[in-house]
Structure formats: C-alpha cells, structure tokens
Amino acid sequence: MKASFLFISLLCFFAAYVECYRGRGYDPLGKLLRTRKSRKSDNHLTEDVLTEYSPVYIASQDGLKEADQITMLPGQPNVNFDQYSGYVTVDPTAGRALFYYFTEAEDSSSKPLVLWLNGGPGCSSIGSGAMTELGPFRVNPDGKTLWYNEYAWNKVANVLFLESPAGVGFSYSNTTSDYITGDKRTATDSYTFLVNWLERFPEYKTRDFYLTGESYAGHYVPQLADLILQNNKITNQTVINLKGIAIGNAYIDYTDRWTGTYDHFWTSALISDETHLGILQNCNFSSEATDTDICEEYQDKAYEEQGDVFTYDIYAPLCGSNSTAPSLSSFDPCSDDYVFAYLNTPEVQKALHANITGVAGPWEDCNGEVHANWQDEPDTVLPVIKKLMASGISVWIYSGDTDNIIPVTTTRYSMAKLGAPVKTPWYPWYSQEEVGGYVVGYENVTFVTIRGAGHFVPSYQPELASIQCYRGAGGQARDPLGEFIKAQKMKRSVNSYHIQDYASADYTPVYIAPQEGSKKLDEIIGLPGQPQVSFSQYSGYVTVDPKAGRALFYWFTEAEDSSNKPLVLWLNGGKSWPGCSSIGSGAMTELGPFRVNPDGKTLWHNKNAWNTVANVLFLESPAGVGFSYSNTTSDYVTGDKRTAEDSYTFLLNWFERFPEYKTRDFYITGESYAGHYVPQLASLILKNNKITNQTVINLKGVAIGNAYIDYEDEMTGMIDFFWTHALMSDEVHEAIFKNCNFSTMAPISGKCEESLDDADSDMGDVFYYDIYAPLCGSNSTAPSLSQFDPCSDDYVFTYLNTPEVQKALHANVTGTPGPWDSCNYFIFNNWNDQPETVLPVIKELMASGISVWIYSGDTDGRVPVTTTKYSMNKLGAPVKTPWYPWYNQGEVGGYVVEYQNVTFVTIRGAGHFVPSYQPERALTFFSSFLEGKLPPRES
C-alpha cells in the first residue's frame, strides 16, 4: 500500500513537466541502439549482468555527511529543506568515485528515500533529472540563477540523484580503462555506492527505499533492484529496504523497442507508407542475426523522413527556432544550455563539492566516450523484471505518450510479454479534473501512461492538458461523428450503393432566380463589436427551391485585394457529421477573419484568416443547418444527394448575385463529413460543365481535411490510432479485432457494438477531435498544442443569438423560434442517404485534372491520420514526389507526399479542426494549395 501511495503521489508530478527539447541536441540512446544492432547475438543474455554476492567495499563515512551539506547554491531561492552533494568512493584501488546530489523533503523523517537514475547510457542524473526534470531547482536563462520547481519530487520523498557509471557528469575514475564499462559494473558500483551512502546517512538505513529512472535506466533500475534483493537474501538481512521500482519510457527489450517504434512512427504520420512497408518486409527484429543492409537503409530513411523533429517528444518546440506555435509543454527548450553554463561555473562546482580533482574540460551532460565504449547490455531485461514481480516489491512501468525514442507502443509490447493477468482493468486517471493518462493493474506489475508527455516525463507541464468531449458544451461529453456512425451502422446494407448515383448522367435544369440588387442588400456595414478591417463582407439567403421555401444562408469575406484572388467555398460537414454550421464553426472558430471574445459581444481579428489569400465563402448546408431553412418540414429529412444538389443550385444563383466571380478560379474546401460534401459537389460541377459543354463553374481544385471518406478505413484507422496512442486497453483492442468486421456489408454485431462501447469507456473524458486539447470549464492552466480557447463555441452561441448580430448578418429573416444552434440534431438523426465510401468519386476527380488535396491534423482521434493513410493507399496512385517534412517558422509544420493526381498533407500538432488548433501552419498549407505548389521544404 505504501508503494502504491508513493507512486500515485508521484503521478501528480509526472503530470508536471516533460522536457520539450534537450537543448544540446544529443541523442545518446538512439545512437547506442543503432550502433548495437550489429552485436545483437553477443548481448542477449540478461542473466550475465548480475553476479553472485561478493564482499562490498565499505569505507568509514564519519564526518562526511556534514562536509557534504550544501550551504547555498549560487543564485538559489530560499527553501526549507536540506541539500547535500559530494563523492562516494566505490573502488579505492582504481580511484573510482560516484557523485550524488541529495534533496531532502521538508518533513524528511516521515518520507521514503527515492533514488533517481538517468540512463543514456552515459548521461547525468544531475544535469538532466535534477536540474531539468524532477529536482527542486531549474536554471534561469542567465545561466547564473535558479528558480524553484513547485512540482519537485522532494515534495513527497527524499530524492537522491546519482551520476553513474564513473565518467558520467562529475563522477570519475583515476583508471582510464574504467571508462570502458557496461551494465554489470554500473549495477555493482551503484550498489556499492548505496551501501556506503547509507553509512554516511545512517538515518535512512531502515527507511522505505524506491528506485526510479527513465530511458536506459530501464536496464539500470531492474538490474540494481535485482542485485539488492539477491544480496539481501544471501546475507540474510535487509541491507537496503527496497520497496519498489518505477521506470519511465524504459528501454527494456530490443525487439519491442524497434517494432513499437516503427508502429508509432507510422501511426503518428512521421514516415511514409513506403518506408513503413519496407521495414515490415525487410527487418526481423526478433532474430539474433544482424540486420540486413536493406533493413538498415529503410531504418535510416525512416529517420530522414521525419525532418527536424525532436525524437524524444514529437510535439516539442526547438531551441532557437522562431516559431510561435504552441506546445504541449511550458518547459523552456533551451534549458540544457542554461544548465551547461551553470554547472560549469567554478562557484557552483565549489558549492556542490564537485570536480574536486580539477578535471580538464567542461562538465558535460553526456559522456560520448562512455557511451561509445559500452561493453555489455542484454537484448532484454524482461526476465529480471519478472523476478522482481515475483519478489513482492512494487513494480511500476510508465510511459509518456508523445515520446518517439521509446514510444508507448514499445512499452505495451513489453507489458504483453510479461504475461501477467489483469487485476485492475484499464481506466483513465485524473489530474486537475482532466485525464492525466491511463492505468492498468496487472498481477504484480502496474502500467501507467502520462498523456501529452514525451520521453522526459517529469520535465512536463504542471497540469496535464486534457480534452473536452464536445467543444463549447462546457465540457460535457459528446461525440457527434461517433453517434452518427453508430446510428448508420444498422443501415449499412441499405446504404452501400455507389456514389456515382449522386451525379446523374443527364443534366437537370437548375432553378435560377433574378439577383439584381441582392448583392447590395447583402453587404454587411459592420458587425457588432467588430474591429476595423479593410475588406468587404456580405451575408444573406439564396433560395434554392421557391416551391418548398428552401433557402441557404451564406457569409462571404472578400480578400483586401479581392480582384486578384481566387474564390474558395468552405463547407463544414458538422463536427465531422452532417448537420452543423459553417458559420458557427468554420467562419467563427476556424478560418474566418473574426473570433468571438469571451464576453460574447465583441470580436477580435484572426491574422491567420484564409481571406488573407482568397475570397472565402461560407455556406450553411443543407436547409435546417444554422440560419438556413425550409418552409417544408419534410425537407429536414435529407441526405448527401440533396445536399450536393442544393449546394450546386446555391452556387449558380450566388454567381448571378456576384457576377464578377463567374470566371474566377474556384476551389472547394471543407473538413470532416465534408469529406462527402466536397467530392460530391465537385463531381456534380464537373459533370454539369461537361453536359452543358461550358464552364458554368471554373472549378480548379478541392481540399478536404480529416475527412470522413470511407467507413472501413474510418473504423480500422481509428482503432489503430487509439491503441498506438495509449487510449484503449489491450483487451478491448483485441476484442474489437475479434468481434468486428468493418469490411462486410452486414450490420455490426452486438458483440462488436459492446467492444466499441468499451473503447469509448476506456478513454474517459477525452475530446476525440483533438486528443491533447484543453477542457472548457476545467481549472487547468496546462499548456496545450493549441492556443485555441476551448470555450469558443459558447462565445459564438451567445454572439449569433444576439438580435443585433442577426440583423447585421441579414439572418433569421423568418423569425424562427428558438435559438440559433451550431448543429441541428433533427437533421443528424434523420440523415437518409450516405455511401460507405466516396473513394470512387475522389478517383473521378483525380482523373479530371483538377487539383485534389487531402490533409490531416495528426492529433485527431475521430478521423485520425491513420484512417486517411489507409484511404490514400486504396486510391492506388503512384508516388510522384516522395514523403518529406514541410516547414513553417523554422519548425516542421507537417509532412507531404505527392501522388499522381492527388496530394496528401499532414499538419503537425493539429486536431480535427485544423485551422483552429494550428492557424499559422494551416494558412501555410492552404496558401500552397492555392498556388499549386507543395508546402515549403524550408521556412
């Protein structure tokens, strides 16, 4: 119980900080793994790491504790706990001594003792763990002063940081050959250190003791724990009172490391399909044989394709970049540089009692010589972990889910190999009222994820970014597309007709009414609370069926230099399902020129609005959505076919109202369920142009984002994304693939429904549409990948229901009772026709010669990037321009691959509503689309 309590307490601090960018750009673990691949057959026996008990060197420690006490570190704020640092000799003959830094808790006598080990191998627990992760101080940018970390682990424990082996940080040896070392000596020296340290601090001899660490400490911690338990047993005494271990983003098993890594690369949209397939076909990570040359080539390509992305946290900012894009972490990405400056200050080293031998050259966070000469490491420490599980101590394995070097997929594969039965099923755990991650209790081992955290978990934010389940609904859980898909599943056999039926081969005359004077009447003089702008706006109604009294509402925002810019139509499918407003969503929370302030009365200017590069037309379709209406009630029972036809009729009439745009280059864009709307409307335009033998509408291209295109791909891609992003349990994942067949035309079985419902339950209060989004209404101040206000829908609802606003917009002219709403659930519940796939239509558009772009924000969980990648494969187009990272403001904005007649683009760090979450990257992508150029390879 004590061990569980400690680790649960530390979870609050796991949600504290994960380092965004180790400022000095060193990747020791990656280098070790790549250089070790050729030696796999020599390194696979973990039992060789530990030896039988032999007498341990123990020296007199009298007076050394007092000598090690730190009076005050230079630039340190005042604190109410004691600190100590210094050397403990572990081999007097070789002159080998390890350096430590110890931070007691304020009420130290009632707290356990925790040892922290950074891996590398060859990296410093002082420079990393203590000064940038879980220690009480962080270094200011001046490199001279410190600030207090209120989430330091010495709030709940007495924390001991050890630099091991000799040669790491301030630890040293007088024998040069000692720097050629490995797992075995690291474990034995660490054990010798502890025995001597406890002589120096005898009050901790019987204290509950825990071992913690990350990365290559996935070797160090289990091996040292095993040695402690063995020696306790052999000596028949509790030399060290070990109660538990916790290892984070831990390198545990060679095979799992590589298999999980490449799975994570692909499902996080970091590598191309071709490279992923090449690795799967040519690499055998379970073999004892060395990798083939072709396997090496594909692995090298996988790293090249990612560009300048920090492999230890795929959403981290880069030190020195000029990007203003938000990050999941508030951690300063240049912190390692500040630590380097601080620990190389003579006054600091003197205060720490460090570098007493006056070693030439600067202190470094990682020792390249130790790393390059690492001699022994097993391919797996799973046998050691199983021994620890059987011993009765507490064993916790945790994983930050945005790490790319030891990703959560890697850890999940290792957990499965442990073979322990589930004791406490998977559930979301909470911090500051938001999902902090997930936990599953197995027999004798616990697995925990920390959501939004990279490799260096304790460096991250104090309050972990969580997710609202329905944007603008005060945090109430709602998943519109999920509900829509479920509602349609029972109709699958009825709705599986081909999309070609939507655009008849015969032209049907379209209703066109006189539009004289309507444009002038539609001009917006000024919206209430609007800042001054230099472009014109129009809004109003276009009748598409006078007999039924059916009229669609639009809002048109011209560019400042409107005459030389193309015309772009934006369609919201909904919040990825039919029945939602392009005004309330697209215009006012995504790509429009204005956003609503929290007062619900005034607007602010969106500098990344798409009307900076185009004239943008927002359409609320079908009738019943937003301000659009019909006088015929039955019109609200509708579907894809009428939506396409009415949108086409709207456009022809709108062009009569705005004749200056008739010959203008025209593009259709949209997201989510507009993955149906956009291709269907484009197909109808092209066919009518062909039938009438004239360019009625000058369509040049389409772009659809996080688009619901294909039912099978949507479901399969979503489930894959959930599992690889640690949003569902192994058991539910397995049940879905056992009980569900998304490729058949038959209705979904009851067992499949149950499994899918279990997947929803596993996730907790996570906003499917951006798995790292903040929660509207929570008290969290956690940073987010997005600067978007999660309560924006509430502000829009208030604003668009203001009579003065409706009057200025020429909206609600019929005085419809009840408030304007962003989504119409009657339409949603009565959607009558939708094909299971629109891939045939997209192929049609590709063959037509227009530009076809499909884009995907990579943190969307509802129509995830995996879903879109499956659909891209089904299109079967050959690659024209291979996958590469594109850049915005000095950082990777996403990835692009150009196929023959279709382009696929990802937007890094964006959820389902791309222009809301990453407005600058979205505008860069959109500008490239309009220019007919691929996104930039450089900023």
Residue 44 annotated among the catalytic residues of the structure? no
Average pLDDT along the chain: 89
Question: What is the mean predicted confidence (pLDDT) over 625-641?
Answer: 94
Residue 758 annotated among the catalytic residues of the structure? no
pLDDT digits (tens, 9 = 90+) for 131-171: 999 999 999 999 999 999 999 999 999 999 999 999 999 99
* Paired tokens of 610: 């798409």
Question: What is the mean predicted confidence (pLDDT) over 465-490?
Answer: 40
The yes-or-no verdict on residue 939 having pLDDT over 80 is: no
Question: What is the mean predicted confidence (pLDDT) over 875-880?
Answer: 97
Task: Output the CA torsion sign for 142, 144, 147, 153.
Answer: positive
Give phi and psi for 840, each to the nearest 5.
-60, -35
Range 74-99 burial, b when 16+ CB lie within 10 A, else e: bbbeebeeebbbbbbebbeeeebbbb
The whole-number pLDDT of residue 11 equals 54
Q: Cα–Cα distance between 72 and 421 in angstroms, integer?
A: 50
Element (H or E) spanning 248, and its range? Answer: strand 242-248
- Could you report how far apart the first and last alpha carbons of the chain are, in Å? 53
The yes-or-no verdict on residue 1 having pLDDT over 80 is: no
Q: Cα–Cα distance between 541 and 650 in angstroms, integer?
A: 9
Specify the higher pLDDT residue, 211 or 31: 211
Q: Cα–Cα distance between 937 and 939 in angstroms, integer?
A: 7
Q: pLDDT exceeding 70 applies to what percent of the chain?
A: 88
pLDDT band of residue 744 (cuts 50, 70, 90) is low
| Choice among 125-134, 180-189, 458-467, 881-890 with the minimum mean pLDDT | 458-467
Inter-residue contact 819 to 800 (CB < 8 Å): no
| 3-class DSSP assignment, residue 618 | strand
Residue of 183, 912, 916, 928 with catalytic role: 912
pLDDT band of residue 497 (cuts 50, 70, 90) is very low
Q: Which of 144, 513, 484 is nearest to 345 (CA)?
A: 144
* Paired tokens of 71: 């009076």
Question: What is the mean predicted confidence (pLDDT) over 63-77?
Answer: 97
Q: How many CB atoms lie within 10 A of CB 919?
A: 23
The yes-or-no verdict on residue 371 having pLDDT over 80 is: yes
Specify the higher pLDDT residue, 109 or 509: 109
The yes-or-no verdict on residue 48 having pLDDT over 60 is: no
Q: Cα–Cα distance between 108 and 79 in angstroms, integer?
A: 14
* Paired tokens of 745: 């035309």
Question: What is the mean predicted confidence (pLDDT) over 669-675?
Answer: 96
- Among the ranges 17-21, 183-187, 312-316, which has the highest mean pLDDT value? 183-187
Taking the C-alpha atoms of 243, 246, 250 and 252 in order, what is their torsion angle to the nearest 10 degrees? 30
Inter-residue contact 905 to 765 (CB < 8 Å): no
Distance of CA 307 to the CA centre of its chain: 17
The whole-number pLDDT of residue 337 equals 95
Question: What is the mean predicted confidence (pLDDT) over 385-399?
Answer: 97
Per-residue DSSP letters for 342-378? HHTSHHHHHHTT--TT--SS---SB-HHHHHT-----
Taking the C-alpha atoms of 139, 145, 149 and 153 in order, what is their torsion angle to the nearest 10 degrees? 80
The yes-or-no verdict on residue 896 having pLDDT over 90 is: yes
Q: Which of 729, 750, 709 is nearest to 837 (CA)?
A: 709
Element (H or E) spanning 431, and its range? Answer: strand 422-431
Per-residue DSSP letters for 18-64? --S--TT---HHHHHHHHHGGGGGGS--GGGG-----PPP----TTH
**Interstrand relation of 137-139 and 434-442 (parallel, antiparallel or unpaired):** unpaired
Q: Cα–Cα distance between 222 and 384 in angstroms, integer?
A: 6
Q: Cα–Cα distance between 400 and 451 in angstroms, integer?
A: 6
Residue 599 annotated among the catalytic residues of the structure? no
Amino acid at 835: P
* Start-end of H helices in 283-345: 293-305, 335-343
| Choice among 227-236, 314-323, 397-406 with the minimum mean pLDDT | 314-323
Inter-residue contact 769 to 576 (CB < 8 Å): yes
The whole-number pLDDT of residue 333 equals 87
Q: Which of 110, 18, 600, 83 is nearest to 315 (CA)?
A: 18
pLDDT digits (tens, 9 = 90+) for 924-934: 999 999 999 99
The conformation of residue 756, written as its DSSP 8-state character, comes to H
pLDDT digits (tens, 9 = 90+) for 249-296: 999 999 999 999 999 999 999 999 999 999 999 999 985 667 789 999
The yes-or-no verdict on residue 666 having pLDDT over 70 is: yes
The whole-number pLDDT of residue 477 equals 37
| 3-class DSSP assignment, residue 399 | strand
The conformation of residue 164, written as its DSSP 8-state character, comes to -
Inter-residue contact 98 to 109 (CB < 8 Å): no
Q: Cα–Cα distance between 275 and 281 in angstroms, integer?
A: 10
Inter-residue contact 462 to 800 (CB < 8 Å): no
Give phi and psi for 80, each to the nearest 5.
-110, 35
Q: Cα–Cα distance between 120 and 182 in angstroms, integer?
A: 12
Residue 830 buriedness (CB in 10 A; 0-12 / 13-18 / 19+) = middle
Specify the higher pLDDT residue, 242 or 48: 242
* Paired tokens of 464: 């972990």
* Paired tokens of 183: 């797992």
pLDDT band of residue 476 (cuts 50, 70, 90) is very low
Range 787-815 burial, b when 16+ CB lie within 10 A, else e: ebbbbbbbbbbbbbeeeebbebbbbbeee
Distance of CA 652 to the CA centre of its chain: 42
**Interstrand relation of 172-173 and 96-103 (parallel, antiparallel or unpaired):** antiparallel
pLDDT band of residue 33 (cuts 50, 70, 90) is low
The whole-number pLDDT of residue 328 equals 73
Element (H or E) spanning 300, and its range? Answer: helix 293-305
Residue of 394, 621, 672, 755 with catalytic role: 672
The conformation of residue 817, written as its DSSP 8-state character, comes to S
Question: What is the mean predicted confidence (pLDDT) over 43-51?
Answer: 47
Specify the higher pLDDT residue, 401 or 509: 401
The whole-number pLDDT of residue 471 equals 28
pLDDT band of residue 483 (cuts 50, 70, 90) is low
The yes-or-no verdict on residue 495 having pLDDT over 60 is: no
Provide CB contacts within 8 A for 63, sequence distance 6+.
none
Q: Cα–Cα distance between 159 and 212 in angstroms, integer?
A: 10
Residue of 272, 353, 860, 928 with catalytic role: 860
The yes-or-no verdict on residue 754 having pLDDT over 80 is: yes
Q: pLDDT exceeding 90 applies to what percent of the chain?
A: 76
* Start-end of H helices in 693-814: 711-724, 730-739, 750-763, 792-800, 803-808
Q: Which of 104, 40, 110 is nearest to 69 (CA)?
A: 104
pLDDT digits (tens, 9 = 90+) for 80-108: 999 999 999 999 999 999 999 999 999 99
| 3-class DSSP assignment, residue 559 | coil
The yes-or-no verdict on residue 31 having pLDDT over 50 is: yes
Question: What is the mean predicted confidence (pLDDT) over 384-395?
Answer: 97
The whole-number pLDDT of residue 828 equals 83
pLDDT digits (tens, 9 = 90+) for 528-559: 999 999 999 999 999 999 999 999 999 999 99
* Paired tokens of 812: 């609600």
Q: Which of 669, 670, 537 is nearest to 603 (CA)?
A: 537
The whole-number pLDDT of residue 508 equals 74
The yes-or-no verdict on residue 480 having pLDDT over 60 is: no
**Interstrand relation of 666-671 and 567-572 (parallel, antiparallel or unpaired):** parallel
Range 307-319 burial, b when 16+ CB lie within 10 A, else e: bebbbbbbbbbbb
Q: Which of 330, 275, 712, 761 is nearest to 489 (CA)?
A: 712
